[in-house]
């Protein structure tokens, strides 16, 4: 009897001893590997000016195979519009005043600095290159640190909301209402801090609050939806995907095109990456290139809330179905 009683604790001890190092190794891989392999990969870069004048510039840039995806523009004005529309991260324009580098530090301070270094290395010795920051970061957040730092708190808020709704036993419409209400409050609070107080978000306040709320709802709905279908294991699964994949793969601290493939692409399919990209678009670029990440977040939120309702419906139907089956099998008379 005593041996039987000691087996479960021993098994749990073994599970903990094995599971903790595995999780630690997975977390280290997820966070450290992309950071250690940061480099431009098909980074959209414009080249503007007459073909004869830009041929040498393009030749120098294409020496780094796979680093840049070159887009051609007729002149500096067209290249500037492309930067503002988030079609490219920057552009090298050949103008009568000499070569000029257009950047957008608001899109990624890391990329802006990388482009300055890359173009300076490729330029002939003694050739000055004027740099113009077309869409700069806010003066109160020149390094973009606050926006980058917002990814983790929003993810944690979403996980917490989804877990609390599930553990409190809220189901169906009540769960949906709680998730939507919590996300709306998180969005308003986050916009109040980042926009109104710190002044690091410079777009429309209500749009930014909506984006922050949608990013939170995408996570919380996914966690609650998985919990409704899988039980408490769903909470762990949802939290694990968001924290171990979504956060380090988001590219918020650098740029998705600087991460090794397919990490950068996967990160934009998950709520943290899509949320960071969408927040940049609405805050600094007047909503340019916002459709893709907005649809991604909306899809996560819709699927998560749908799973919450489905789980509630299945939970209600099961007892009724079993009772009906019992009546059918009961002997007559």
pLDDT value for 126: 63
Q: Which has more pLDDT, 28 or 325?
A: 28
Q: What is the pTM of this model?
A: 0.88
44-48, 126-130, 236-240, 270-274: range with lowest mean pLDDT = 126-130
Tokens of residue 295, six digits: 């649809």
Average pLDDT of the residues in 21-36 = 82
pLDDT value for 11: 76
pLDDT value for 323: 45
Q: Which has more pLDDT, 11 or 205?
A: 205
Whole-angstrom distance, CA of residue 228 vs CA of residue 233? 10
25 three-class SS: helix
Residue 318, pLDDT > 70, answer no
101-110, 234-243, 271-280, 308-317: range with lowest mean pLDDT = 308-317
Work out the pLDDT band at 5, boundaries 50, 70, 90.
low
Whole-angstrom distance, CA of residue 212 vs CA of residue 189? 9
Tokens 């599970």 found at: 15
Q: Which has more pLDDT, 276 or 330?
A: 276
């Amino acid at each position: 009897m005593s041996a039987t009683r000691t087996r479960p604790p021993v098994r749990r001890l073994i599970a903990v001893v094995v599971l903790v190092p595995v999780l630690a190794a997975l977390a280290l891989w997820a966070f450290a590997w992309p950071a250690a392999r940061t480099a431009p990969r098909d980074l959209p870069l414009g080249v503007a000016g007459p073909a004869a004048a830009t041929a040498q510039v393009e030749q120098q840039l294409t020496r780094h195979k796979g680093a840049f995806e070159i887009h051609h523009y007729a002149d500096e004005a067209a290249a500037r519009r492309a930067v503002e529309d988030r079609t490219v991260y920057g552009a090298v324009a050949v103008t009568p005043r000499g070569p000029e580098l257009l950047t957008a530090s608001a899109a990624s301070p890391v990329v802006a600095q990388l482009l300055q270094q890359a173009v300076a290395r490729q330029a002939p010795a003694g050739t000055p290159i004027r740099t113009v920051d077309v869409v700069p970061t806010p003066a109160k957040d020149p390094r973009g640190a606050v926006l980058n730092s917002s990814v983790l708190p929003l993810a944690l808020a979403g996980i917490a909301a989804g877990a609390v709704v599930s553990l409190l036993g809220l189901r169906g419409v009540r769960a949906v209402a709680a998730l939507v209400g919590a996300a709306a409050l998180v969005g308003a609070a986050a916009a109040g801090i980042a926009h109104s107080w710190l002044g690091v978000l410079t777009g429309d306040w209500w749009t930014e609050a909506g984006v922050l709320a949608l990013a939170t709802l995408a996570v919380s709905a996914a966690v609650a939806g998985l919990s409704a279908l899988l039980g408490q294991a769903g909470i762990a699964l949802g939290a694990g995907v968001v924290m171990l994949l979504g956060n380090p793969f988001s590219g918020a601290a650098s740029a998705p095109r600087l991460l090794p493939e397919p990490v950068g692409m996967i990160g934009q399919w998950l709520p943290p990456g899509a949320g960071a990209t969408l927040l940049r678009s609405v805050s600094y670029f007047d909503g340019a290139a916002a459709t893709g990440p907005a649809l991604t977040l909306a899809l996560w939120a819709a699927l998560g809330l749908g799973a919450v309702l489905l789980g509630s419906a299945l939970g209600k139907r099961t007892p009724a179905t079993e009772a009906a089956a019992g009546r059918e099998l009961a002997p007559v008379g």
